[in-house]
A = this chain, B = another copy of it.
């Protein structure tokens, strides 16, 4: 529930992690080599301690590797830990591509229907209340920029939590990040009413303990989103993705 209390920017190290993480995923160091510790420190005006600690954190996320004499280098993209919330966030926010969003949604298409089935089998009244609360907020939300999105996210993460499976629950921050970007697509194209109806069907099935129906309903929901994303990917510009700010 509570946001992380760790100060991400009032702290040189975390700030540097953010900067470097974004630079790395945007391919800043594809051509030129990654700088040495000394250069990095000079370029960012940080001490070597801070620089080294930031590099170590990025190493832990699979983005960098360091060896004496060879220096520090960006690891091949295949080794990046895409399932790390920070890495996914940097990619989606700083190097957005419909392709990547489609791939992630493709994984959601496997995960979330299964989560809905588990939730239907296991959710206790309290967990169901959380899911219902998300939907209620979706319905109550006006056309404000934030609330409809956060309510939708709350709905999905409440279902993940209701599975009672720690690995599903762990996907919360990833889905959170991806949905914040993804929802703009689906809402713009499908009407709000249709979206809410789909979510309501999921909740209804879970509350009724009908695993099969819950899975199918969730599958339909995400399948729709995936199709929209894939269509946009193949036909860029036609969906209004580019002139998004105006639609309100």
Contact = CB atoms under 8 A, between A and B. Distances in A.
Interface stretch (A99-107, A124-132, A240-248): A99-107
B109 A114 contact: yes
A84 interface: yes
Nearest to A104: B167
Contacts of A111: 107, 110-111
Given A114-B109, A118-B106, A167 B52 contact: no
A197 B107 CA distance: 27
A36 interface: no
B6 A103 contact: no
A93 interface: no
Nearest to A117: B110
A53 B65 CA distance: 14
Interface string A73-88: 0000011011111000
Contacts of A23: none
A67 B8 CA distance: 12
Given A84-B84, A111-B110, A114-B109, A166 B100 contact: yes
**Interface size, A (range):** 35 or more
Copies in the complex: 2
Interface of A, helix, strand, loop or mixed by DSSP: helix
A67 B245 CA distance: 39
Nearest to A102: B165
A170 interface: yes
A58 B171 CA distance: 19
A124 B162 CA distance: 38
Contacts of A169: 78
A53 B104 CA distance: 32
A185 interface: no
A227 interface: no
Interface of A: 4, 6, 13, 17, 49, 52-53, 56-61, 65, 67, 78-79, 81-85, 100, 103-104, 106-107, 109-111, 113-115, 118, 165-171
Given A17-B60, A56-B56, 6 more contacts: A4-B79, A60-B60, A81-B84, A83-B83, A107-B168, A110-B115
17 contacts: A6-B67, A53-B53, A57-B57, A57-B60, A58-B60, A60-B60, A81-B85, A82-B167, A82-B170, A83-B167, A83-B171, A84-B84, A104-B167, A106-B165, A107-B167, A110-B111, A110-B113
